[in-house]
Amino acid sequence: MTDQARSSPVGFFHFPGLGHFLVVLIVTNLEIVGLMGWLAVATGKGLDSVFGNLAILSSLNQLDQFISTIGRARFASIFLGFFLLMEHIIAQMDQTGRGISGREFTEILSFTSLEAVIWTVWLLLIPVNGVLAIVFFLGSLFVEHQITDNVKKGLPFLHFARLDGKLFRGLVLFTIFEVMGAVVWVAQGRLIALALGSTLEHYVARNVGQITEKDELRSSTQ
């Protein structure tokens, strides 16, 4: 839906259509697979502990020498980054309706690497100070989500939303969904919490991606 075709911004929970919703489910599953493998390796387990005997993924678990060479934390981040990169590329193409350019790929790779680092640092901070870990996680993921939204819209990398605007509220909302799901998952081992939080995150993010600067200006004058 183009800006000319609608009189007001879509709501945060607007149903984007079956095709776009299926994309939301695909990127959600990619993120979940990446995070499950990441947490397993980062906490000293093998990929087979979460993926069982799946041929492709369990075969990665045999690369013990490679893991020991680069370190478990680094391997876990690389594993997570691979799935996040696929997720972000698919979400970008779904949002823009076209393939990605070389510049967009570089930008996506940059904020994907940032997100992998954020998850890793958050996990390291949890045993140090739980409150600090959550504050860091929430704030840094908000920045990463803002950058992701900027790249989708072709805006400057560090363009930040107006604090009184709908875009800002939307970014905060789906960041909270992701953080809540992740915290419950890691703290209590409830994968359903991660799945729910990640689904809501990507669902709302898809709609937030439809909010333009014209929408922001329009809402501020109403």
Q: Which of 1-10, 14-23, 128-137 has the lowest mean pLDDT?
A: 1-10
Chain mean pLDDT for the chain: 89
Lowest mean pLDDT among 5-9, 12-16, 85-89, 197-201: 5-9
In this structure, how many other beta carbons lie within 10 angstroms of the beta carbon of residue 196? 17
Tens digit of each residue's pLDDT (9 = 90 or more) over 170-217: 999 999 999 999 999 999 999 999 999 999 999 999 999 999 877 776
**pLDDT band per the 50, 70, 90 thresholds, residue 55:** very low
Predicted local distance difference test score (pLDDT) of residue 1 = 40
One DSSP character per residue, 56-121 reads: HHHHHTT-HHHHHHH-HHHHHHHHHHHHHHHHHHHHHHHHHSSPPPHHHHHHHHHHHHHHHHHHHH
Burial of 201 (0-12, 13-18, 19+ CB in 10 A): buried
Q: What is the DSSP letter of 197?
A: H
Tens-place pLDDT, residues 77-102: 999 999 999 999 999 999 999 999 99
pLDDT at 159 over 70: yes
